[in-house]
Chains A and B, each alone.
Chain A
Amino acid sequence: MGAEVRGQAPRIQRYHAYADRIRPKPAVIHNVWWAFVVGGMIALLGQGITWGFQQAGLTGNRAATPTSIVLVGLGALFTGLGWYDRIVELGGMGGTLPITGFANAMVAPAMEYRAEGLIMGVGAKLFTLAGPVLVYGMATAFVMGAIRYGLGIG
């Protein structure tokens, strides 16, 4: 834009400035920015919880598992209350990628399919996303672990 503006009449310059101001930002930039903000905030919350557990005497990475448990609990609760949808609406992957989003992805379909019963409704739908995550995460970790074992760096 900048190069075009020089040498144009003030009226046209003003028009370009105005058009730049009101032109909708490409959705991707908007999405990525809010993913950054929301994801960062949830990670920051996690760091705060970790800090709390460390103050309570859990040293180093022994605080990591309790932190995950608290975040998962919060994610499940917020999903139940219908609040987590709004976090995902705003943050996209910023809401979905953190472990709170993992809890959301378990609870939301389980609630939705409650009518199909406790076994194939709630029980099965809890694993709608958790299933693929576990299958491919475990498979990849197995291969990486085997390579590290083979190379003697395990």
Chain B
Amino acid sequence: MMFVWAFLVGGLMCALAQLVMDALKLTPAKTVVLFVVLGAVAGGLGVYGKLVEAAGAGATVPLPGFGYVLVKGIDQAVQEKGVWGLFTGGFTAAAGGVKAALLFGLAAALAFRPKA
């Protein structure tokens, strides 16, 4: 059942992003940033967490899930170390994905040449 929800929610989020991009004539970069911000807002409102419980990767794989993870990490850090957690929590929670993106990104950029 989780697989069905993952497909539907992940797909719908991308479809919504496409619709917003086409309707408002945004660039892909602006659309992605907008949706990361929306994910962080929805995370802060407590909505996005419910979506993650229901749809798993359907909610965490699209980039709004990145915004949500930042807020979740800040929540955890604030519980552990008080107000300073506002500064450390975001990067702590995002560390795995960001570090992987840096390492693999660098490796791929050095290993491959553009096709065209």
Contacts and interface: CB of A to CB of B under 8 A. Distances in A.
A154 interface: yes
A28 B44 CA distance: 31
B35 A126 contact: no
A48 B3 contact: yes
Interface residues of A, number: 81
Chain B interface category by residue count: 35 or more
Most central of B45, B65, B85 by chain A CB within 10 Å: B65
A125 B26 CA distance: 21
Interface string A46-69: 111111000000000100111111
Interface of A is mostly: helix
B21 A92 contact: yes
Contacts of B15: 32-33, 35-36, 39, 93-94
Contacts of B71: 141, 144-145, 148
A138 B19 CA distance: 25
Interface of B: 2-3, 6-15, 17-19, 21-23, 28-29, 31-33, 35-37, 39-41, 43-46, 52, 55-58, 60-67, 69-71, 73-75, 78-79, 83, 85-87, 89-91, 96-98, 100-102, 104-115
In the A-B complex, the 10 residue pairs with the closest CB atoms: A43-B10, A39-B14, A40-B11, A144-B44, A80-B112, A46-B57, A145-B74, A141-B70, A35-B18, A110-B109
Interface of A: 27-28, 31-33, 35-44, 46-51, 61, 64-69, 71-73, 75-77, 79-82, 85, 91-94, 96-103, 105-108, 110-112, 114, 122, 126, 129-130, 132-134, 136-138, 140-149, 153-154
